[in-house]
Structure 1
Amino acid sequence: MRLAFMGTPEFAVPSLAELIASGHEIVAVYSQPPKPRGRGQKLTPSPVQAFAETMGLPVFTPASMKSPEAIETFRSLEVDAACVVAYGQILKAEVLDAPRLGCFNLHGSLLPRWRGAAPIQRAIMAGDRQTGVQIMRMSEGLDEGPILLSEVLDIREDDTAASLGERMSHIGAALWPRALAAIDRGGVEGTEQVGEPTYAKKITPAEARIDWSRPAVAVDAHIRGLSPFPGAWFEVPGEDGPVRIKVLMSRIASEGSGAPGQVLDGSLRIACGEGAVQLLRVQRAGKAAQSAEEMLRGFPLQAGTELG
């Protein structure tokens, strides 16, 4: 098939690789424009753009797919279908209707649960035990189209957004060849979504702060769901003011009680509103990520310290 691919983050790269390996003709790759990164604020292409360029594929990075110029360029490609994976832009009807067979999206949840921008993070943060990857026919509504193919995954007790997303990206990528073959022969209509939708709104910096008054189960899920980005965080008193520390991994402690946010011992076991969590991997502001044990050697937090 003659395809356009639209995606931006690392999550989308396995899907593009799978489509190339399956022998489809990728006539265009669309991605979000390069963004300034690092201390030098150098413009850096997205993971999808970088991969596509190494494969010699033409890449388009319009600031908006709503502009008449971007829509006309897309129409002129005359593709059979567009495969979309975490592209990051809303597509108007003129774009959705341009491919001969339509536009199709790989989404990281079991729809209609967790429609929207952050389904992987929200599923872990909510304590869900299962999630999935689904290919759907795109419509103008937010993740509202009929489902063509699904794969269900268990969410493990030690999953972070990174580990779960990595697993989902490869399982989802493997769905594309089957889905496109069925679409091409007209053998799949899709199943309408059933149930009450929930929405995976974008993660805001404010909600990343850890609320120690919540039960340990919820605090642990909050930490893992936001790891590695943006990273759940707390503050401790420092010589020159509060020091912010991100928590990248935790687990529920077998025992422990105290005032919420109180350090219970020398291993960073922290009391919550109910139970306690053990912090395993942390990152001080301006420092590299390290184990809790390593951080405590250079930045001790005594039992009884109150975390903010």
Structure 2
Amino acid sequence: MRVVFMGTPDFAVPTLKKLAASFEVALVLTRPDAVRGRGRRLEPSPVKAAALELGLPVMEAKRMTPEVLDALRAAGADVFCVAAYGCILPDEVLTMVPAGCVNVHASLLPRWRGAAPIQRCILAGDATAGVSIMRIGHGVDTGAYCAQASCPVPGKTADELTADLARLGADLLAETLPSIVDGTAVWTEQDEALVTHAAKIEKSELWLDPRTTAGENVRRALASSDAAPARCRVAGRAVRVLRAVPVPA
């Protein structure tokens, strides 16, 4: 089975490695090198670094140019696999290969469609998170899914939960991909009545607030990230909160 993989951040790396171990990865598509981390240096995406380590052909793209479309056609893939790529795929890509485009989404759809499903499930106090193997369509995470897997949430930071879900998603995609390609996978349409949306986290949402409960403030610290850190004000100065623990009454 020939696969084209599209992904960018750390979340996508386990899926790429699992696919490379089980199938023929004809091409890896990822976002271009960008300024990352505290050093503010131009660095490759985690997926690009992993692909080069695995000896896989890599192409960088932030949009579907004619050159990228030509490369996708030339790959001769049976299926396109996506995990947090960060680029909208046009109809031409969605219908280019026999088995279409499938995505590893970090939620138990239809709960938490959108950009920040992991942080949203932590902030909401969900007991369970998960991954869904879904078809990519025109809406944001609106496609049918053929498989899901779950794990517990309480007490995990966003980074810890992301790592758990990345491993779950990698295993689940590798397990279900043969049935997707041969057409035997069973697809479930999402129930629109159960949809919740995972909008991008705003920094203001993660300010600790003494007027709310200890539990809410703990979840804000757990959902924290470098892009949107949990913060509070101490002696008139803003400080980042790395961990928070509720004190027994």
Q: Same fold (TM over 0.5)?
A: yes
Q: Does the CA-based 8 Å contact 2:81-2:103 persist in structure 1?
A: yes
Q: Does the CA-based 8 Å contact 2:7-2:82 persist in structure 1?
A: yes
TM-score normalised to the size of structure 2?
Answer: 0.93
Structure 1, residues 218-271: CA drift from partner, whole Å, max 9, x if none? 11111111246522011223xxxx53311122122102xxxxxxxxxxxxxxxx
TM-score normalised to the size of structure 1?
Answer: 0.76
Q: Does the CA-based 8 Å contact 1:108-1:119 persist in structure 2?
A: yes
Q: Does the CA-based 8 Å contact 2:112-2:198 persist in structure 1?
A: yes
Give the SS at the match of 1:250. coil
Q: Quick one: which amino acid aligns to residue 43 of structure 2?
A: T
Q: Quick one: which amino acid aligns to residue 90 of structure 1?
A: I
Shift of the 253–40 alpha-carbon distance from structure 1 to 2, 3 Å rule, reads: closer
- Distance in 2, matches of 1:40 and 1:10, equals 18
**Ranges of 4+ aligned residues in structure 1 off by more than 6 Å:** none
Shift, 1:54, TM fit: 0.9
Shift of the 38–135 alpha-carbon distance from structure 1 to 2, 3 Å rule, reads: closer
Aligned to 1:55: 54
Aligned to 1:246: 240
How many residues are treated as equivalent by the alignment?
248
Q: Which has the higher helix share?
A: 2
Aligned to 1:9: 9
- Distance in 1, matches of 2:117 and 2:239, equals 25
- Distance in 1, matches of 2:50 and 2:67, equals 25
Give the SS at the match of 1:249. coil
- Distance in 2, matches of 1:57 and 1:45, equals 15
Q: Does the CA-based 8 Å contact 1:235-1:243 persist in structure 2?
A: yes
Shift of the 39–170 alpha-carbon distance from structure 1 to 2, 3 Å rule, reads: closer
Structure 2: gaps of 5 or more residues: none
Q: Does the CA-based 8 Å contact 1:228-1:248 persist in structure 2?
A: no
Equivalent positions of 1:206-217 (< 5 A) are 206-217=204-215
Structure 1, residues 154-185: CA drift from partner, whole Å, max 9, x if none? 212x1111111111111111112221111122
Aligned to 1:191: 188
- 2:216 is the counterpart of 1:222: no
Q: Does the CA-based 8 Å contact 1:8-1:47 persist in structure 2?
A: yes
Give the SS at the match of 2:241. strand
Structure 1, residues 183-221: CA drift from partner, whole Å, max 9, x if none? 122111411112321111112223232222211111111
Equivalent positions of 1:254-273 (< 5 A) are 254-255=248-249
Q: Report the RMSD for the aligned CA atoms in angstroms.
A: 1.7
Q: Greater relative contact order: 1 or 2 (C-alpha under 8 angstroms, separation 6 or more)?
A: 2
Aligned to 1:200: 198
Q: Quick one: which amino acid aligns to residue 152 of structure 2?
A: D
Task: Identify the match of residue 176 of structure 1 among 173, 178, 181.
Answer: 173
- Identity percentage of aligned residues: 41
Greater Rg over alpha carbons, structure: 1
- Distance in 1, matches of 2:37 and 2:168, equals 31
- Distance in 2, matches of 1:186 and 1:102, equals 11
- Distance in 1, matches of 2:68 and 2:209, equals 44
